[in-house]
Amino acid sequence: MDALVLRGCAGGSEHSSRWTGVTVRPNLLAGEDIPPAPQQKRSLEKRARLKEAGLALFGEKGYESTSVDEIARRAKLAVGTFYQHFRSKRQLLLALMDELLEKLSQLDFRPSAATDVRAVVHELLARAFSHDLRYLGAYRAWREALLSDAELGRKQVEIHAWTTARVTTVFQLLQQLPGARAGVDVPGLARVMDSFFWNLLGQAVLMPKVELNRWIDSATHLIYHAMFADRAGRAQRPKPG
């Protein structure tokens, strides 16, 4: 899953015109007959407990092996309470993934004009994955559910189109930093890295943190060398005598 999802720029920035054209995130709950969100604090707390239980169980067991009964038990609630909030575990999964997209849409990943460009790239990746990891269970279940649910597959296409557009925007902004290579195929690089990020997120649920950090370091290396000339290569060569 793409970790580099951007939120719109509020104006006053030299890059605001780029950000205002960014497409709205997919609404995964559109057309779903989900019970309305509760208003009372106690009911809101119950819904939050069901979501937490779903995240945990989806991460531990996957989608097919997790039942509504187990989610209710993990949340310490009656099964009937589950159905007051979600009509199925599929709806719960959609709600969790939609929540993930909403949180990602609010993140600001505009790169700073720092001298150390490699550090800028690493910071963007580390910041993004720090927000994604809470939803690893949901994404593990999502990838499994895609295999047997054509409608989820159509939603996945929308998600990838959205995230790829945002990775493209990030790379376009990176290209404005000192040392950027000319002629980089930014859309092509964005598509490749978007798939890489989603696949990494899908595997991260089983990874020790140290291994995930190694993958982030590797991604930083790939992006940096794809988009920026090495300092040594840019150093002025001595004139032939």
Instruction: Give me the residue spans of the domains in the chain.
Output: 27-234
* Structure token digits, residue 183: 């002629």
One of 3.40.190.10, 1.10.357.10, 3.40.50.300, 3.40.50.1240 is the CATH number of 27-234, namely 1.10.357.10
* Structure token digits, residue 185: 């195929």
Instruction: Pick 196 or 235 by higher pLDDT.
Output: 196
- What are 142-188's pLDDT values in tens digits? 999 999 999 999 999 999 999 999 889 889 988 888 889 989 999 99
Helical residues (DSSP H) of 133-185, grouped into ranges: 136-146, 150-174
b/e map 54-87, b = 16+ CB within 10 Å? bbebbbeebbeebebebbbebbebeeebbeebbe
Of the candidates 124, 44, 125, 57, the residue with the CA atom closest to the CA atom of residue 84: 44
Q: Which residue has the tokens 């006053």?
A: 12
Of the candidates 125, 174, 120, 137, the residue with the CA atom closest to the CA atom of residue 52: 137
- What are 20-46's pLDDT values in tens digits? 334 789 999 998 898 988 889 999 999
